[in-house]
Amino acid sequence: MAAVALGRDFEFKMNRPEVCPTGLAEVDAMAGGLPQGCLTEVYGPASSGRTSLMLAALAQSTGRENVCALVDASDAFDPASAAAAGVHLERLLWVRCGGNAEHALKAADLLVQGGGFGMVVMDLADTPAVHARRISMTSWFRLRRAVEHTPTVLLVVEQQPLAKTCASLTLEMRRERAAWSGAPGAPSCARLLRGIRVHVDRRKPVPALAASFESCW
């Protein structure tokens, strides 16, 4: 019996993918990190902390000297913010797609097929939902298949979940509140936007878990 239990345990551990930490302790404790060789979805509305999580993950990966790629569908990436978040820009390949989601999908496919990247991020966060929903499930399956059995983390940032069954990990982001310095009634010239508190729900895999973190508190 003991041998059978040991065998099960060993098999279970063998099937678990390696994970890459996000750099956010609360999220790592809840979700266990971003799985390698899998597709991870991060979605939520504007100002919900998606970019904070994305940059934290990129900072972690480039900090371990991996070369990463960012497919920026809407040309929204701000290098100054990324550098401030600790991303090593010299280890980041930035592909600007000028608002073309189809180009973003093809670019992500090329990067994943090319191989050798520690993390490939597809940023569809500003792509209108109407356009994003036009991406067929076949394309997501193709991406998932391409990244399988590779040490690459494929992270997709979006407004609504798109990859559905193709995603191994799905995180929903929501802003709890914004923190402003100064007294509530103080004039705006005496206040400062200090950061946001973000609530993260793990939607997939089950069971659903939740965590909160502060972005630049």
Q: Which residues sit at the interface with another protein, rule CB under 8 A? A: 45-52, 55, 64-67, 75-86, 89-98, 100, 103, 106-107, 110-111, 114-118, 125-126, 151-152, 175, 178, 180-182, 187-189, 191-193, 195-196, 215-216
- Comparing CB distances to another protein, the nearer of 3 and 178 is 178
- Comparing CB distances to another protein, the nearer of 2 and 183 is 183
- Comparing CB distances to another protein, the nearer of 11 and 90 is 90
CB of residue 105 vs another protein: minimum separation in angstroms? 10
Identify whether the C-beta of residue 55 lies closer than 8 Å to the C-beta of residue 201: no
Q: How many CB atoms lie within 10 A of CB 47?
A: 14
- Burial category of 176 from C-beta neighbours within 10 Å (exposed 0-12, middle 13-18, buried 19 and up): middle
- Comparing CB distances to another protein, the nearer of 137 and 193 is 193
Structural tokens at position 151: 């040490």
Identify whether the C-beta of residue 35 lies closer than 8 Å to the C-beta of residue 147: no
CB of residue 194 vs another protein: minimum separation in angstroms? 8
Q: What is the DSSP letter of 157?
A: E
